[in-house]
């Protein structure tokens, strides 16, 4: 790391799974600066929206993620019950606003109807299989989840926990301190 490049904050693992009438967003708790673990129990997954009916997880700079959570909550207030529209509006702002454009983060968001990945490039993507993995360990967790998702008898939370374990065993920027939020459709 050069002297004037600032801290080099590395990744996380966020996994969003959807199956049947459930959706889960899971995130690890590790925060790293360079090759040092600075915190092992950060909470990177939270419920947002006035009724807590949206789950969001972030990968990237922490302060940037908090800004994006706040902005998404404001968009949800403007467009209640319309997660896709709120995310599209956030992505537009994120891409065009001079301040937001500098934010470095990626979000996985879900409600009882839709799971989306939102980026600062203006992307709002809905995966066709309902599975999202973001962050440095996201692809490892996603691959594990895809292998486990159709296993008979496995509950969605068990799939999420096992997938996060696998990611933590491969990615040095992911740990086993996992926070899970779940929405079950009525």
| Residues with catalytic roles | 12
C-beta separation of 141 from 164 below 8 A: yes
C-beta separation of 156 from 22 below 8 A: yes
C-beta separation of 86 from 75 below 8 A: yes
Tokens of 173: 């920027």
In angstroms, the CA 38 to CA 58 distance is 18
Q: What angle do CA 157, 17, 143 make, to 5 degrees?
A: 100
For residue 98, how far is the Cα from the chain centroid?
A: 24
């Amino acid at each position: 790391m050069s002297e004037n490049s600032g801290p080099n904050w590395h990744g996380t693992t966020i996994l969003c799974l959807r199956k049947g009438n459930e959706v889960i967003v899971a995130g690890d708790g590790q925060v790293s600066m360079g090759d040092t673990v600075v915190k092992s129990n950060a909470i990177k997954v939270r419920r947002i929206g006035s009724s807590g009916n949206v789950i969001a997880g972030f990968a990237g700079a922490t302060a940037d993620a908090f800004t994006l959570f706040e902005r998404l909550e404001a968009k949800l207030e403007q467009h209640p019950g319309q997660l896709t529209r709120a995310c599209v509006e956030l992505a537009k702002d994120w891409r065009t606003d001079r301040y937001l454009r500098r934010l470095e983060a990626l979000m996985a968001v879900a409600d009882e109807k839709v799971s989306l990945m939102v980026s600062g490039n203006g992307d709002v993507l809905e995966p066709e299989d309902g599975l999202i993995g973001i962050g440095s360990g996201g692809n490892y967790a996603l691959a594990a989840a895809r292998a486990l998702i159709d296993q008979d008898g496995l509950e969605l939370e068990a799939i999420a926990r096992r997938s996060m374990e696998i990611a933590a065993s491969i990615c040095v920027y992911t740990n086993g301190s996992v926070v899970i939020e779940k929405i079950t459709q009525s």
